[in-house]
Amino acid sequence: MVKLSRYAHTFELDGAVALYHSLRMKPVYLNRESYENLQAWLAGSFCNTLEEASDAIKKEVNELAKFKILTRTDDEDEKVLKFVKSKIPKPMINVCYMILSEQCNLACKYCFLGNNDSEKRSNFTLESMSKETADKVIDFFIRQIKLSDLDDEDNKPVIIFYGGEPLVNYEVLVYIAEKINALRRTEKCIKNTELSMVTNGLLLTDERIIRLKELGVSIGISIDGFNEEANKMRVDLAGNPVYSRILKTLDRCKELGANASLSVTLSEETIKNKSDILQLVDNYGVHSFGFNIMMSSEEFVLPQTYNEAAAQFILDEFVELRKRGIYEDRIMRKLKAFSKAQVYFSDCAATAGGQIVIAPNGQVGICHGCLHDKKYFVADIWNDDFDATKDKNFIEWSQLTPINKEECQDCPALGICGGGCPINAMNLKNGNTIHDLDERFCVHSKMTLEFLIKDLYRIITEG
């Protein structure tokens, strides 16, 4: 019998209806009349085979069956899910967060690492990564890439210098970047390695900007928005705001041709103002953005309305920025999955089983969000036998995708979601674990899917 798939969802549009299979990911747009005819046919008793559809909707019915929105057998949904599950990647390491120092020169009031919390802060080691440790870190990362058996030509390993604040340990950052650049010639598996750094920007001097540019280290500056007010939670250890100092850094990066990208934490204040971002693009030549929805926890509670407002802000800015040829990372990842109709399994490298995090003392973990308590830090760089691809913790993380979660099966955003951040899910409520839903992210995923379906319809109807 022909019926709608469990994974089929409908979206109301102006004068039309979109039908969409959350795993097959190809929307089919029907005018209202065809949709009503389809509903009538499915409700009747002559829908045992596709051939029984009337001529008025035969073409549409075949299209819907092609994209699995209509199923013909009871096990069709199960087969699609089984096929998608067979594609969930196993752990394969190609991203390394190098925590050069756990210390940070700021104490942002929402910091998920805990720099605003004296108790958590006291857990951060004072010791920075030494050059001897850095040598072992590089060997360890190369070994994990080799064990992952990725194609040397296609693979682009990524090293992200992170903290605390990585520039607290600038000397070792330069040491590692120089060594990686020298090793590219002999170690094929790292020849395409991208080097980047996430910094608050306050310790960047002209000399450092020039040197980082020479070394090919891209600079990502974290910021909370595009005016003083939006950045009021971004403060130094003495509680002073730092926004004007960040602007000076952006100015120097532009002047010296170092094209910084921005990692923007969306504070409640940031999302109130949609125009300042364009001014920043114009004034400082910023061409790359990543927007981060804030994490809430029992100690840092955000209002219910925040998630929706933040998701809407990202979509509105996406529309504005793309007019200027600038594409925000978070939406782009979903847009790519949607346009290629390819399920997007994970929204971060940790849940993709692709990432290792190395603390200054050589401990090896999965996610930098656990630096303060070293949860999921499961090895160290002196363990020559460690193989992340076979480690039970890395395997557990690589399976956190919504595709494996029963509570996600009826969600329209299943194929584009990626599941958000397990650490946020864990921190949301007492008793939660990494296996719970990152509810803040659900709002963003569902709104993004609706936007993509409507945007595609607009493009089609505008010819």
The answer to whether 130 and 172 are in contact (CB under 8 A) is yes
Closer residue to ligand SF4 (CB): 113 or 321: 113
Closer residue to ligand SF4 (CB): 164 or 419: 419
369 binds ligand SF4 per the rule CB under 6 A = yes
CA distance 201 to 215: 17
Residue 452 CB, nearest distance to ligand SF4 (Å)? 13
Q: Which stretch binds ligand SF4 (CB under 6 A): 40-48, 226-234, 312-320, 405-413?
A: 405-413
Q: Could you give the dihedral angle defined by the CA atoms of residues 402, 408, 412 and 415, in that order, rounded to the nearest 10 degrees?
A: 20
Q: Which stretch binds ligand SF4 (CB under 6 A): 13-21, 43-51, 73-81, 442-450?
A: 442-450
User: Considering Cα of 443, then 445, then 447, then 450, what sign does the dihedral take?
Assistant: negative
411 binds ligand SF4 per the rule CB under 6 A = yes
408 binds ligand SF4 per the rule CB under 6 A = yes
Residue of 6, 85, 136, 446 that binds ligand SF4 (CB under 6 A): 446
Q: Which of positions 169-228 make contact with ligand SF4 (CB under 6 A)?
A: none
Residue with tokens 């004296």: 118
Residue 166 CB, nearest distance to ligand SF4 (Å)? 16
H-helix or E-strand containing 71? strand 70-71
CA distance 129 to 125: 10
Residue 111 CB, nearest distance to ligand SF4 (Å)? 12
∠ at Cα 424 (419, 426), nearest 5°?
A: 100
Closer residue to ligand SF4 (CB): 16 or 332: 332
Residue of 350, 356, 388, 447 that binds ligand SF4 (CB under 6 A): 350
Give which of 270, 335, 348 is closest to 309, Cα–Cα: 270
164 binds ligand SF4 per the rule CB under 6 A = no
414 binds ligand SF4 per the rule CB under 6 A = yes
413 binds ligand SF4 per the rule CB under 6 A = yes
Residue of 265, 402, 447, 453 that binds ligand SF4 (CB under 6 A): 402
The answer to whether 85 and 108 are in contact (CB under 8 A) is no
360 binds ligand SF4 per the rule CB under 6 A = no
CA distance 81 to 131: 48
Query: Is residue 215 classed exposed, middle or buried when 0-12, 13-18 and 19+ CB atoms within 10 A define those classes?
Result: middle
Q: Which stretch binds ligand SF4 (CB under 6 A): 66-74, 259-267, 330-338, 420-428?
A: 420-428
CA distance 34 to 57: 6
Residue 84 CB, nearest distance to ligand SF4 (Å)? 13
Residue of 204, 367, 378, 428 that binds ligand SF4 (CB under 6 A): 367
User: Considering Cα of 164, then 167, then 173, then 178, what sign does the dihedral take?
Assistant: positive
242 binds ligand SF4 per the rule CB under 6 A = no
Compute and round to an integer the Cα radius of gyration of the chain.
24
38 binds ligand SF4 per the rule CB under 6 A = no
Phi, psi torsion values for 222, nearest 5 degrees: -90, 140
CA distance 112 to 108: 9
Closer residue to ligand SF4 (CB): 174 or 309: 309
State the amino acid at position 85 in one-letter form: K
Q: Which stretch binds ligand SF4 (CB under 6 A): 40-48, 50-58, 250-258, 418-426?
A: 418-426
Which contacts (CB < 8 Å, 24+ apart) does range 318-327 have?
Answer: 320/274, 320/277, 320/278, 321/277, 321/278, 321/281, 321/289, 324/278, 324/281, 326/281, 326/287, 326/288, 326/289
**Residues 6 or more apart whose Cβ sits within 8 Å of residue 350:** 357, 366, 367, 397, 422
Closer residue to ligand SF4 (CB): 129 or 367: 367
Q: Which stretch binds ligand SF4 (CB under 6 A): 29-37, 58-66, 211-219, 441-449?
A: 441-449
314 binds ligand SF4 per the rule CB under 6 A = no
User: Considering Cα of 219, then 223, then 226, then 232, what sign does the dihedral take?
Assistant: negative
Q: Which stretch binds ligand SF4 (CB under 6 A): 78-86, 140-148, 304-312, 413-421?
A: 413-421
419 binds ligand SF4 per the rule CB under 6 A = yes
Q: How many residues bind ligand SF4 (CB under 6 A)?
A: 18
Residue of 421, 447, 452, 453 that binds ligand SF4 (CB under 6 A): 421
114 binds ligand SF4 per the rule CB under 6 A = no
Closer residue to ligand SF4 (CB): 217 or 411: 411
Phi, psi torsion values for 313, nearest 5 degrees: -60, -45
Residues forming contacts to ligand SF4 in the complex (CB under 6 A) are 348, 350, 367, 369, 402, 408, 411, 413-414, 417, 419, 421-423, 437, 442, 445-446
